[in-house]
Amino acid sequence: MLRKLLPALLLLLLLAPGVLHAQSSKSDTYEQLKLFGDVFERVRSSYVEEVTDKELVEAAINGMLSSLDPHSSYLDADSFGDMQVQTKGAFGGLGIEVTMENGFVKVVSPIDDTPAFRAGVEAGDLITHLDSEPVLGLNLSDAVDRMRGEVGSDIVLTIRRGDQEPFDITITRDVIRIQSVRSRVEGNIGYIRVTAFNEQTSPGLDKAIADLKKELGDKVIGWVVDLRNNPGGLLNQAIAVTDAFLDKGEIVSTRARDPEETYRFNAEPGDMVNGQPLIVLINGGSASASEIVAGALQDHGRAIIMGTQSFGKGSVQTIIPLPGHGAMRLTTSRYYTPSGQSIQATGIVPDIEVKQARLEEIDAGSRRREADLRGALTNGDEAGAPATEEEGAPAPEAQEAPSEGEEAAPAAASSSDYQLSRALDLLRGLALFKERAAN
């Protein structure tokens, strides 16, 4: 009898540690849930003001999610509806993409042509107060809810920017309509500005390229894609924009906790600009989907990345609807560039760093040239003698004030935007080099 029972006893002993661990884990979970229930009941019965069960449960859920990372959160039914509208390219608010940092609301980037943009809000600004009420203690969803409001109403943001003293900016709320793609001709270069990645972006890019090709014809020598202060958006749109400039190869991969949940997205044949030189502009306000585009084009050697290091948001948020209760935004994976580099916290480092600056023309006065000297030899290919100066004229090294009516050198295209000017100069230089090499 003992011999018959021995195999069963040995099997039970082998399984026991796993069984005991599972039971212990369940016991710990039950203990934690009991703790939650005790706190819930105590708050409901003893808090100084009456709080509904719905408020307590939603606050608990939001606290659980927001404690994970700055981008996970609970969306109530209204917030979920707003988010769905936003991805379509029109929504109400101030026009800023934000995250949380050290308890404050941090501006990832202002959106072009919105109230916040026009009021002077900048990427990297920390919002410390909303209508004189401190932000500390609020989660991101609460802060965003307070910034929303009736169209036409004002809100005062207290901003901390670098080493400056905090200052207030008054912004009038408005309906935010995002035209995610704008374009124009810069000489013989096609300039495309992408402000966000929403459902309008890929069709807008296709139209912009077609319009610029029609306007420039064979004269086009290169392209600039401007992703500065672009806070990101839909992954499929980032893939589509990147694919427009690639013939083949991986665009981005996403990797979750489970190794089997790794997804790779590849380009399809067809480069809409036929391999012409491409420069992508980024800065600290370029985040998420913008970094996917810049990283893929950089890794494939398809574009020169110029500007400053990007924001570094390399995590993927999945929106999980909760029927009847809004949705939860949960970080589920990380983005990786084709070379296998994670974008998270490091961002994209430009190939050529160009910080934004203001150019000021320095008046060095006019200098005399060889042709101005008495008795200077002629070029040999010109008829006539050079003009000469009177006796006692200053030496060549001397400076004299420019004569009245002397024209200054023409300003460079987009001279008010230093980073763009450098991108345009580089493309023109590449075109000139190619032309001379061909000859």
Q: Helix-strand-coil percent breakdown of the chain, rounded to 5? A: 35, 25, 40
Q: Residues 202, 288, 315, 333: which is the catalytic one?
A: 288
Collapsed DSSP state (helix, strand, coil) of residue 209:
helix
For residues 160 and 104, give the distance between their C-alpha atoms in angstroms, rounded to a whole number.
10
Residue 24 has phi, psi (to 5 degrees) of -65, -40
> Which of 286, 313, 315, 333 is flagged as catalytic?
313
Q: Which amino acid is at 49?
A: E
The pair of structure tokens assigned to 164 is: 């400056």
Two tokens, residue 119 = 């009021």
Residue 206 vs residues 195, 242, 261, 294, 388: alpha-carbon distances, Å: 15, 12, 32, 18, 59
Query: What is the C-alpha to C-alpha distance for residues 150 and 178, in angstroms, rounded to an integer?
Result: 19
Helix (H, G, I), strand (E, B) or coil at 44: helix
Q: In whole angstroms, give the CA distance from residue 15 to residue 186.
A: 73
Bridge-partner residues for 160, per DSSP? 126
For 297, the 3-state DSSP assignment is: helix
DSSP assignment letter at 371? G
- The β-bridge relationship of strands 154-160 and 133-134 is unpaired
Closest CA relative to residue 197, chosen from 142, 237, 155, 241: 237
Q: What single-letter amino acid sits at 142?
A: D
Hey, which residues does 327 pair with through a beta bridge?
75, 321
Q: Is 253 among the residues known to form the active site? A: no
Does residue 351 have an active-site annotation?
Answer: no
Find out whether 157 and 129 touch, Cβ atoms under 8 Å.
Answer: yes
Output DSSP code: residue 370. G
Q: Is 313 part of the annotated catalytic residue set?
A: yes
CA distances to 299, 369, 379, 385, 407 from 382, rounded to whole Å, are 52, 17, 6, 8, 25
The residues, any chain, with a CB within 8 Å of residue 178's CB and separated by 6 or more, are 89, 90, 111, 195, 196, 198, 200
* Residues tagged active-site: 288, 299, 313
